[in-house]
């Protein structure tokens, strides 16, 4: 059965729609009663700065135009329900939700009490029906959340791995570093939104909650016949950004959540919920949505994390900036865990990708990540699997074992000098690595996409190499709260001459 057929079958099983649809929406023969006409707006969070990249991907893969939200890091596009599986296949989006209703110029009342009362009233007036159908269909596409091990448990596992890995650090240090990695990973995955972070703030005592079934069966039937599992569990998450709000995200989620519960007779559950209702408030814009992802879609390639593992969605955005063409040779000379070249090999399999790093532990992690992906792909593919066009190697970026002019594209995430290296060391590293990159990169057509937060040092190093690199575009990004830049550089047609040769020429004249 195709995914579309599967989705249509499930649609007929949706029990929420008619009984819970407000009367005003219950129009007979409405086009939206039929799955093929079910058209909804999808909201997607994307790495800040890469909204246009995501919009381009949506247009290319789904044929839909996107609207970029005023609060950066989100795009909206319309789809028909058959495209839902393709939406989950997008590489540039982190989290997905179906829009219930959008208010572009919401008129907030003067006092907190009045604003919160309006939120309560809103719950019963929203067009929930189609978004809930989409939520139901979506369950077959949704990836379940990967269970995180507790840190203490993780430590003992790491201890075993340390003996196996034997990198250049001692065992004790490794355990510590992996624990820090867990923490950093959490930071890295925090929402980039400026303002209050997404917090759920609604709960009610379970004993107070009548079930949805009671409402559906009518009051004469005993509520005791209900089973707990038939009642949907939900939570409300409020994201709020903007200066002039007289309420907090907690208060909004609590009061709006209370009204949602009263309306649907669902059960509130902060951690084990079926439906996550989103209340996104940005200045005077409000978007109510239902989450379609349990865990961010950027969690796809990496199983062995490092201290600064890059999101796969950001890696995709960086790769896309330099438009890879079939047979291009693409290198990440400071690959860490290999997030960029692995995403490259998965999405551009007609190119050849090389992942290199000077830290043996990083190369080992990258190799392990490649291996995990190969194993996963082998299990998934029914036909013969030819592997991935990628290699991992230990090297020093300042002295690459590659022929001059042999590389088409360089995409890398440079040490910021915070978690890796130091700002002081960057003053030597950046000029040397830009020089070596200009040697290996093909004159005239070569390009580089470089991510760094050490913008001052980068600008200085680049200014000395203006004859070899031309800066075409800068994308401003937010990496775990740090303001960083992604530079797209084009290699000029000037032939590379090593500075020592220039010196020699000067001497012989
Ligand atoms: C910001 S991290 C890259 C993180 C990577 N994108 C990931 O997803 O894991 C920078 C990397 O540069 C590497 N590095 C630093 N100096 C280097 C050098 N001289 N040659 C090669 N790699 C170097 C570090 O070992 C580190 O893994």
State how far the Cα of 126 lies from the Cα of 124, in Å rounded to an integer: 6
Rounded to two decimals, the pTM is 0.79
- Of 304, 310, 335, 401, best ligand 1 pocket probe by most atoms within 8 Å of the beta carbon: 335
Q: 3-state class of 285 per DSSP?
A: strand
Q: For residue 280, what is the enclosing H or E element?
A: strand 275-282
User: What integer pLDDT is reported at residue 505 of this predicted model?
Assistant: 63
Q: For 336, which DSSP code? A: T
Q: Whose CA is nearest to atom 16 of ligand 1?
A: 358
Cβ pair 339, 311 in contact under 8 A: yes
Q: Is the pLDDT of residue 16 over 80?
A: no
What pLDDT is recorded for position 227?
A: 55
What pLDDT, on a 0 to 100 scale, did the predictor assign at position 508?
Answer: 61
- Where do the CATH 3.40.50.150 domains begin and end in the chain? 312-495
The C-alpha atoms of residue 146 and residue 380 are separated, in whole angstroms, by: 18
Residues 6 or more apart whose Cβ sits within 8 Å of residue 86:
61, 62
Of the candidate ranges 19-28, 55-64, 162-171, the one whose mean pLDDT is the lowest: 162-171
Beta strands at 469-479 and 482-491: parallel, antiparallel or unpaired:
antiparallel
3-state secondary structure of 448: strand
**3-state class of 140 per DSSP?**
coil
CB of 418 closer than 8 Å to CB of 482: yes
Residue 331 or residue 423, greater confidence: 331
DSSP labels, 2-35 = -HHHHHHHHHHH--HHHHHS-GGG--TT-GGGSG
Every domain of the chain with CATH number 3.30.2130.30 lies at 3-144+192-291
Q: How confident is the model at residue 506 (pLDDT cuts 50, 70, 90)?
A: low
pLDDT of residue 229: 60
Distance 334 CA to ligand 1 centre (A): 4
Contact between residue 352 and residue 375 where contact means Cβ atoms under 8 Å apart: no
pLDDT at 195: 40
pLDDT digits (tens, 9 = 90+) for 359-369: 999 999 999 99
pLDDT tens per residue across span 301-345: 999 999 999 999 999 999 999 999 999 999 999 999 999 999 999
Whole-number Å distance, alpha carbon 414 to ligand 1 midpoint, is 6
Please tell me the distance between residue 336's alpha carbon and the centre of ligand 1 in angstroms: 5
Lowest mean pLDDT among 115-119, 200-204, 247-251, 461-465: 200-204
Answer yes or no: is pLDDT of 221 > 70.
Answer: no
Determine the Cα–Cα distance for residues 375 and 366; give it in Å rounded to an integer: 14
C-alpha 498 – ligand 1 centre gap (Å): 24
For the domain made up of 312-495, give the CATH fold: Rossmann fold (3.40.50)
SS3 assignment for 31-96: HHHCHHHCEEEEEEECCCCCHHHHHHHHHHHHCCCEEECCCCCEEEEEEEHHHHHHHHCCCCCCEE
Query: Ligand 1 centre from 437 Cα, in Å?
Result: 14
Among 364, 420, 428, which residue has the most ligand 1 atoms within 8 Å of its CB, making it the best to mutate? 420
Q: Which residue has the tokens 């949506």?
A: 58
Query: Which atom of ligand 1 is found nearest the CA of 359?
Result: 25
Cβ(167)–Cβ(361) under 8 Å? Answer: yes
Asked whether residue 434 carries a pLDDT value surpassing 90, the answer given is yes
DSSP codes joined into one string, 387-446: --SEEEEE-BTTB-SS-TT-BSEEEEE---SSSSS-HHHHHHHHHHHHHHHHHHBPTTT-
Position 240 scores a pLDDT of 95
From the CA of 357, how far away is ligand 1's center (Å)? 6
Instruction: Pick one of 3.40.50.20, 3.30.1330.90, 3.30.2130.30, 2.60.40.2480 as the CATH number of 3-144+192-291.
Output: 3.30.2130.30
- Give residues (CB < 6 A) around ligand 1: 306, 308-310, 333-337, 339-340, 357-359, 362, 396-398, 413, 415, 420-421
Atom of ligand 1 at shortest range from CA of 305: 9
DSSP string, 243-274: S--SS-HHHHHHHHHHHHHHHH--EE-SSS-S
How far does residue 396's CA lie from ligand 1's centre (Å)?
A: 10
Most confident of 62-66, 202-206, 418-422, 477-481: 62-66
pLDDT of res. 382: 61
Q: Which atom of ligand 1 is nearest to the CA of 332?
A: 6
Q: Is the pLDDT of residue 411 over 70?
A: yes
> In the chain, what is the greatest distance between 2 CA atoms, to the nearest angstrom?
105
Contacts of 1 (CB under 8 A, 6+ apart): 9
Q: In this structure, what token pair is assigned to residue 50?
A: 């890469």
Look at residue 392 and tell me whether its pLDDT is greater than 60: yes
């Amino acid at each position: 059965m195709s995914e579309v057929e599967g989705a249509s079958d499930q649609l007929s099983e949706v029990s929420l729609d008619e009984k819970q649809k407000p009367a005003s929406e219950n129009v007979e023969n409405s086009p939206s009663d039929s799955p093929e006409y079910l058209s909804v707006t999808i909201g997607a969070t994307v790495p800040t700065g890469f909204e246009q990249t995501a919009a381009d991907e949506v247009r290319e893969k789904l044929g839909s135009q996107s609207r970029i939200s005023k609060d950066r890091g989100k795009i909206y596009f319309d789809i028909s329900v058959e495209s839902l599986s393709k939406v989950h296949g997008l590489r540039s989006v982190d989290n997905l939700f179906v829009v219930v209703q959008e208010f572009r110029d919401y008129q907030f009342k003067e006092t907190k009490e009045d604003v919160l009362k309006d939120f309560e009233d809103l719950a019963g007036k929203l067009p929930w029906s189609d978004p809930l159908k989409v939520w139901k269909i979506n369950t077959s596409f949704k990836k379940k959340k990967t269970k995180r091990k507790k840190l203490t448990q993780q430590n003992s596992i790491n201890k075993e791995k340390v003996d196996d890995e034997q990198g250049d650090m001692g065992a004790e240090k490794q355990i510590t570093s992996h624990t820090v990695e867990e923490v950093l990973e959490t930071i890295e995955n925090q929402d980039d939104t400026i303002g209050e972070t997404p917090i759920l703030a609604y709960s009610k005592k379970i004993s107070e909650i009548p079930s949805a079934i009671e409402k559906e069966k009518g009051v004469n039937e005993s509520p005791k016949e209900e089973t707990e599992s038939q009642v949907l569990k939900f939570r409300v998450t409020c994201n709020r950004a903007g200066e002039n709000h007289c309420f907090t995200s907690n208060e909004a989620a609590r009061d709006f959540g209370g009204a949602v519960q009263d309306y649907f007779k669902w059960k509130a559950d902060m951690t084990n919920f079926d439906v996550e209702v989103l209340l996104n408030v940005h200045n005077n814009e409000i978007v109510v949505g239902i989450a379609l992802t349990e865990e961010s879609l950027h969690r796809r390639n990496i199983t062995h994390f490092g201290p600064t593992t890059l999101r796969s969605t950001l890696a995709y955005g960086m790769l896309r900036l330099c438009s890879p063409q079939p047979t291009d040779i693409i290198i990440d000379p400071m690959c860490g865990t290999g997030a960029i070249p692995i995403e490259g090999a998965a999405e551009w399999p007609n190119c050849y990708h090389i992942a290199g790093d000077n830290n043996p532990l990083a190369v080992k992690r990258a190799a392990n990540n490649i291996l995990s992906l190969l194993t996963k792909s082998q299990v998934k593919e029914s036909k013969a699997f030819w592997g991935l066009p990628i290699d991992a190697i230990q090297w020093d970026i300042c002295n690459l074992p590659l022929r001059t002019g042999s590389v088409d594209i360089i995409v890398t995430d440079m040490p910021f000098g915070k978690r890796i290296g130091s700002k002081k060391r960057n003053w030597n590293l950046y000029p040397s690595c830009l020089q070596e990159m200009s040697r290996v990169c093909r004159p005239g057509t070569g390009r580089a996409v470089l991510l760094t937060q050490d913008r001052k040092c980068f600008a200085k190093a680049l200014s000395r190499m203006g004859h070899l690199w031309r800066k075409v575009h800068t994308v401003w990004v937010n990496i775990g709260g740090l303001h960083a830049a992604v530079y797209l550089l084009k290699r000029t047609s000037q032939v590379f001459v090593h500075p020592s040769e220039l010196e020699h020429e000067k001497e012989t004249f």
